Amino acid sequence: MPLTPASEQLKDLLIQHRVYLDRFGNTTAKDTIKLLNEARQSIYKMIGGADFLEGGLVSPSQKKRLTAVLAEIDKLLISAYKKVYTAHLLEGIRDLAKSEGLFIQSAAQDSLPVVINTITPAPVLLATLANNKVMGRSLETWMSNLAKTESAKVQSAVKNGMVSGMPIRDIVKTAQATSTLSNQHLYTVVRTSVMQASSDSMQAFYKANKDIIKRVVYIATLDGRTTPLCSALDGKIYELGKEKNIPPSHYNCRSILVPIFEKFIGNCPSKPTTTDLLKKEYAKINPEQPYQQWASKRTRELVSQVPASTTYEEWLKNQRKEFQISVLGSKKAELFSSGKLSLKDFVDFNSGQAFSLKALEKQHPNLFKELQ
């Protein structure tokens, strides 16, 4: 096993971790939506049972009953969003922030070729990061605004349906369609909140260890879904505390900041595994310098070298087969690793979504026959 610079090793660990974090964000978003959908059923049931809604808005008594229904819709939706936020989402983000702090400490220490103790921010501090702003607003504000927006739209759907004489079943369907649209916005907010909590925890770790971390480098996931902003920022180096762009830089951002360690760490004692590898490398290249002098210089290089610029596709090609399968699925991984299809071939650029296996097979029938 060759000697690999610390930041390069850490970059690999963080990119792998980001893949799993992306899945966690998807799961958290789906669970949040599921809980809200369960709460919405009482609203749809109430609308479906309000037979006075059919036939148009014609009498004062109907107007009075409509006002009561609209008020109840608002009450139920606001309450549902608040309950889901406090009882489910907030605790999940808090736990994530704390675990991310432990993860980055472990990953950093595993990547360094020397023995050094790093500082992990207190769990209480990390938990407070869940209250940080996500794209300019706190998660609590996002949930409150989403609730108000959905409530207004559902109320409008009910009122307009009644005025136009729409059948009750169609009014319910319109309300459900409104909720589906709200879910799309909610999905994006929750996924971005997960990335925000992870990024904030890592930033807290970097700042707690500012004696050994002075700079960070912006690493974007360069594939078919990368935004022009992240593509332009990829490889950009910032002084710690003076970053102009800290991920997430946009909704659903997958970019990360990787720390660059200081050279003086190379004066710390090498790990036993590092010493063995240094001796093997020294014997292979046989430099003129004495071993201790050469090893000290080489260790400092390993500590402070900036991670190489590479695309996500190039990076993924160098990962284990098991990891490629976990990211792409077995058939896509086989097509990718064999060079028959690239990552961009898996993405529908019109929708920004990945093609299903069925859609891919329709586009490339001969390639899929070879897999059988």
Q: What is the DSSP letter of 87?
A: I
What mean pLDDT value characterizes the chain? 84
Give a yes or no: residue 216 inside a domain: no
Nearest partner of 193 among 237, 239, 143, 151, judged by Cα = 143
CA contacts within 13 A on the Cβ side of 203: 20
pLDDT band at 20 (very low <50, low <70, confident <90, very high): confident
Give the DSSP per-residue string, 279-311. Answer: HHHHHHH--SS-HHHHHHHHHHHHHHPPPPP--
Task: Say which range, 46-50, 66-70, 105-109, 229-233, has the weakest mean pLDDT.
Answer: 229-233
Do both 28 and 153 map to the same domain? yes
Domain containing residue 153: 6-205
Do both 200 and 326 map to the same domain? no
Give a yes or no: residue 215 inside a domain: no
Do both 14 and 139 map to the same domain? yes
pLDDT band at 310 (very low <50, low <70, confident <90, very high): low
Return the pLDDT at 113: 79
pLDDT band at 350 (very low <50, low <70, confident <90, very high): low
Domain count, the chain: 2
The two three-digit tokens of residue 210, written as one number: 């500012």
Do both 188 and 333 map to the same domain? no
Nearest partner of 253 among 201, 197, 213, 309, judged by Cα = 197
- Compute how many other C-beta atoms are within 10 angstroms of the C-beta atom of residue 263: 14
Give a yes or no: residue 74 inside a domain: yes
State which of 171, 187, 205 marks the end of a domain: 205
Task: Choose between 299 and 39: higher pLDDT.
Answer: 39
pLDDT band at 194 (very low <50, low <70, confident <90, very high): very high
Give a yes or no: residue 134 inside a domain: yes
Give a yes or no: residue 29 inside a domain: yes
| 280 vs 313: CA distance, rounded Å | 31
Do both 34 and 176 map to the same domain? yes
Distances (CA, A) of 89 to 32, 85, 365: 7, 5, 43
From the number of C-beta atoms within 10 Å of its C-beta (0-12, 13-18, 19+), residue 363 rates as: exposed
Return the pLDDT at 222: 62
Task: Choose between 162 and 310: higher pLDDT.
Answer: 162
Element (H, E) at 361: helix 357-363
Task: Say which range, 4-13, 144-153, 173-182, has the weakest mean pLDDT.
Answer: 4-13
| 299 vs 269: CA distance, rounded Å | 10
Nearest partner of 313 among 358, 288, 341, 343, judged by Cα = 343
Do residues 112 and 304 lie in contact, with contact meaning Cβ atoms separated by under 8 Å? no
Task: Choose between 353 and 198: higher pLDDT.
Answer: 198
Return the pLDDT at 263: 75
Task: Say which range, 46-55, 88-97, 168-177, has the weakest mean pLDDT.
Answer: 46-55
Q: What pTM did the predictor assign?
A: 0.78
State which of 190, 205, 220 marks the end of a domain: 205
Do both 187 and 333 map to the same domain? no
Give a yes or no: residue 123 inside a domain: yes
Give a yes or no: residue 141 inside a domain: yes
Model confidence pLDDT, tens digit, residues 333-348: 888 888 888 877 876 6
Model confidence pLDDT, tens digit, residues 155-177: 999 888 888 888 888 989 999 99
Give the DSSP per-residue string, 198-225. Answer: HHHHHHHHHHHTTTTEEEEEEE---STT
State which of 155, 189, 205 marks the end of a domain: 205
Helix 139-163 to helix 60-84 angle (10° resolution) is 160
Do residues 64 and 30 lie in contact, with contact meaning Cβ atoms separated by under 8 Å? no
| 336 vs 334: CA distance, rounded Å | 5
Query: Mean pLDDT throughout 340-361?
Result: 73
Query: Mean pLDDT throughout 318-331?
Result: 80
Model confidence pLDDT, tens digit, residues 234-280: 888 899 999 888 999 889 898 999 998 887 776 777 777 778 877 78
Give a yes or no: residue 38 inside a domain: yes
Model confidence pLDDT, tens digit, residues 5-14: 788 888 888 9
Return the pLDDT at 228: 67
Q: What is the DSSP letter of 79?
A: H
